[in-house]
Chains A and B, each alone.
Chain A
Amino acid sequence: MTSASPRETTEGAVYTVTGGDWDEVARAAAKSDDERIVVNMGPQHPSTHGVLRLILEIDGETVTEARCGIGYLHTGIEKNLEYRTWTQGTTFVTRMDYLTSFFNETAYCLAVEKLLGIEDEVPDRATVIRVLLMELNRLSSHLVAIATGGMELGATTIMIYGFRDRELILDIYELITGLRMNHAYIRPGGLALDLPPGAVDQVREFVKKMKKNLPEYDKLATGNPVFKGRMQDIGYLDLAGCMALGVTGPILRSTGLPHDLRKAQPYCGYETYDFEVPTAETCDAYGRFLIRLEEMRQSLRIVEQCLDRLAPGPVMVADKKIAWPAQLALGPDGLGNSLDHIKNIMGTSMEALIHHFKLVTEGFRVPPGQAYVAVESPKGELGVHVVSDGGTRPFRVHYREPSFTNLQAMAAMCEGAQVADVIVAVASIDPVMGGVDR
């Protein structure tokens, strides 16, 4: 089972341990006066936030060099998109960063709408529901960030609390989209279907409950000396470092720069909502935690404003050459075409059937060109670069994932720190490997 014989390289002795016998390695390491060891953490490790591989060079307890190995969840989604129609694309992009599904979908749809030139024709109701869902999504993503971050520190209670509140949001998702995760609800031109009856009431109920629950995180963690001891001054990255490494989101805002695309380059009508961009001056993991908490409060404010301005109306563009032909409806067996629509295409109108068939199987064509649309996801700037060659399928879709870009800062945050602080630093970046690797 074990094979721990040393192999001499230019770097020194290399031991490959695959079995359980560490004695030989330990003895050999004790013999050499070199204290440096390289430890491979992951890609399967309970504290690495998914299938992230950390390669740490350790001198005693101090990390002298830290590197990331990624790609263990590379799914080829960008390539897959090139073989599906523009509408089918939402089904794939929602699975990239699976904790921020609605942001992926919205960014993609905004880019497609920009290519089509129909940004102004998307109905108001669809935009308001998009904002509503995105802000709920920001809550659920931050809840997971705080929950898993707490769990990696050893604070299991925070994890239980975070997932408890996330369940409430997932119930809303399920009511509105039919799915707990991976929704594909936002489509180019609008939404797949309107809000079901009772959704607004349930969201209001949730806001009330969440306002009661959010202070519990403050009580549990914010003033907790152990929590502060583990997080304060850990994972330090200042503004210059953030700019050089392209880091955005809560990490950038923890340096005191209130850069938020919702304010700087508003999309989906964010300029009409009343909210604040929280910042911290500490540049550390604790500041990022506080920012996430405060952003959740601000998101609740936006959710309330969305509920107030929801006016009845269509949720899909009027252009029948783009809008999905079927009137989708939730039946007892799940989401499907509405019975009225089936009656129409199967019994009444041959043209409607042809139109339905063409649009569903072939899809719509998008004029050639390229577009870049960025939204502020819970992790930072989520950019989508979409290229069309005039066909019914994307020519190229590239996601500028904040997780991917921010994870590069891991080395800058960890080198020179203790091994235990690596976990805190990575948790404060909040990378989601589905987004990093796509």
Chain B
Amino acid sequence: MSDAHSDDDKTPKTTADKAAETTADKTAPVKAAPDKTPSEKASDQPPSARTPNGVNPEKDLSASNLPGQRGDQGEEIRVQHGMFGANNGGDTSGYGGLVRSIRLPGEAVRPYGGWFDEVADELEGALEEQDLLPENAITKTVVDRGELTFHIEREHLVRVARTLRDDPALRFELCTGVSGVHYPGDKGRELHAVYHLRSITHNRLIRLEVSAPDADPHVPSLVSVYPTNDWHERETYDFFGIVFDGHPALTRIMMPDDWQGFPQRKDYPLGGIPVEYKGAQIPAPDQRRSYS
């Protein structure tokens, strides 16, 4: 959550909540340390701790400290070969043999810090009351950058969302819609639907993430719980082809009705045309040589 807290007395919030939130920022275990570049990290140290070439020998220069790397925990979404995006033609850079795996932040361990534990406890308790084992519904809990994410099994999504909305200790009344993400390298769980739920009562924000394989792109619809998701799910269907089962009228919303394909998937080309100008032809942005 944001580091700053309001003194607003209009939204219901206790001082205990505020104190808890402040500690959340301090104690969140996966609070990103590797965000800084190595050179910066070195300069944080007193000069005596640094070797002449600016590298701090006590600092672990393992992969997790390098920019763009977050250790070997977490889910692998892609394996990158080389340093540059272009793969046609010979390797003139010498970096073509580099292989590194791209991983998203991994599962967090208790305590999550601050109100994160409270929400997780309440949710688990409420699910148990409904005879649903929490570990069956919540596959993973991630705490990263001060945000709490529950990865939910798709068959239990509606029940979890309803619990989050109706339980007085949770009260996530406002859903800010669904955002689709396509991870073509994350085999078996290519399509992700990401929901952000906001509680105005408790002034909190959490994230739910559901994944579905490309071969079976079905996710249950949340329209029955949050009617606002009507258009959001149509949009995500339109762009990613995620079929929201139970949606009242799942049709295209942005693209023309007869459009082929789902344009914001990673395997769908950008669709630009080369631009001609006086003897030069500039390829579309997705056809150009790139760095990542």
Judge A-B direct contact (beta carbons within 8 Å).
Answer: yes
CB <8 Å contact, A367 and B285: no
User: With the chains together, A73 CA to B26 CA distance in Å?
Assistant: 44
The answer to whether residues A116 and B68 also contact, given A83-B286, A246-B176, A400-B176 and a CB cut-off of 8 A, is no
Residues of A within 8 A of B291 (CB): 361-363, 391-392
Distance between A223 CB and nearest chain B CB, rounded to angstroms: 28
User: With the chains together, A247 CA to B129 CA distance in Å?
Assistant: 32
User: With the chains together, A27 CA to B109 CA distance in Å?
Assistant: 73
User: With the chains together, A114 CA to B196 CA distance in Å?
Assistant: 16
Residues of B within 8 A of A82 (CB): 270
CB <8 Å contact, A390 and B176: no
B-binding segment of A188-196, A288-296, A379-387? A379-387
Q: Mark A37-76, 1 if CB is under 8 A from B, else 0.
A: 0000000000000000000000000000000001100101
CB <8 Å contact, B6 and A389: no
User: With the chains together, A244 CA to B227 CA distance in Å?
Assistant: 6
Q: Tell me if A258 counts as interface (CB < 8 A to partner B).
A: yes
Distance between B28 CB and nearest chain A CB, rounded to angstroms: 12
Interface size class of B (residues with CB under 8 A): 35 or more
Q: Tell me if B107 counts as interface (CB < 8 A to partner A).
A: no
Distance between B62 CB and nearest chain A CB, rounded to angstroms: 15
Q: Tell me if A398 counts as interface (CB < 8 A to partner B).
A: yes
Q: Which of B8, B32, B70, B228 is the one whose CB lies under 8 Å from A246?
A: B228
B-binding segment of A2-10, A117-125, A197-205? A117-125
CB <8 Å contact, B231 and A405: yes
Q: Tell me if A215 counts as interface (CB < 8 A to partner B).
A: no
CB <8 Å contact, B205 and A265: yes
Q: Tell me if A245 counts as interface (CB < 8 A to partner B).
A: yes
Q: Which of A74, A271, A365 is the one whose CB lies under 8 Å from B67?
A: A365
Q: Which residues of B in the span 132-160 have a Cβ within 8 Å of any Cβ on A? A: 144-147, 149
Q: Tell me if B207 counts as interface (CB < 8 A to partner A).
A: yes
| A246-B177, A405-B232 known, 5 other contacts, Cβ within 8 Å | A244-B227, A365-B68, A367-B34, A370-B104, A404-B231
> Which B positions have Cβ atoms within 8 angstroms of A?
1-8, 10-11, 32, 34-37, 39-40, 67-70, 77-78, 102-105, 144-147, 149, 173-177, 179-182, 194, 196, 198, 200, 203, 205, 207, 226-232, 235, 239, 252-256, 263-264, 270-271, 285-286, 290-292
- The 7 A-B pairs of least Cβ separation, nearest first, read A246-B228, A391-B292, A117-B35, A398-B179, A390-B68, A71-B254, A263-B8
